[in-house]
């Protein structure tokens, strides 16, 4: 099982709507529109998905791969994750630019161990709001 790490991406985010099947999924399979009530801290192997209409901790909104053969280092991979999650991917999903949103974005990035196993995928997640309120409903198309 590949283990992933969550890194905080400074900024704001948004809400939307969508239903997904609930259950355990491998971290790399956590896809846009899926939600979880897991805290997504530390090493992440599996994520338990929940219905986005229920209160939840996080919602996936995009995935992308980082190029390269050698692990770029913790600071570099966090920077690439932040830049990749805060730009067009966020605005395309939420409907407003990240800097104008009420949401906070997080990126689940490969750990050095999972990188060595071939993992290059960053999973962008909405992980809270600027006022600390709980997420409920999907952020997709919320324009918040």
Residues 30-44 as b/e (b if ≥16 CB within 10 A, e otherwise) read bebbbbbbbebeeeb
CB of 60 closer than 8 Å to CB of 31: yes
> Exposure of 18 by Cβ count < 10 A (0-12 exposed, 13-18 middle, 19+ buried)?
middle
Q: How confident is the model at residue 15 (pLDDT cuts 50, 70, 90)?
A: very low
Q: Is the pLDDT of residue 35 over 70?
A: yes
Q: Does the pTM of the predicted model rise above 0.85?
A: no
Whole-number Å distance between alpha carbons of 75 and 143: 31
């Amino acid at each position: 099982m590949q283990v992933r790490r969550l890194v905080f991406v400074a900024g704001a985010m948004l809400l939307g709507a969508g239903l997904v099947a609930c259950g355990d999924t491998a971290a790399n399979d956590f896809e846009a529109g899926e939600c979880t009530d897991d805290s997504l801290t530390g090493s992440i192997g599996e994520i338990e998905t929940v219905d986005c209409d229920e209160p939840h901790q996080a919602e996936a909104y995009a995935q992308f791969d980082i190029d390269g053969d050698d692990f770029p280092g913790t600071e570099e991979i966090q920077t690439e994750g932040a830049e990749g999650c805060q730009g067009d991917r966020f605005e395309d999903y939420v409907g407003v630019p990240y800097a104008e949103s009420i949401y906070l974005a997080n990126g689940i990035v490969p750990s050095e161990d999972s990188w060595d196993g071939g993992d290059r995928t960053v999973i962008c997640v909405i992980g809270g709001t600027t006022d600390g309120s709980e997420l409920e409903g999907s952020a997709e198309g919320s324009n918040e």
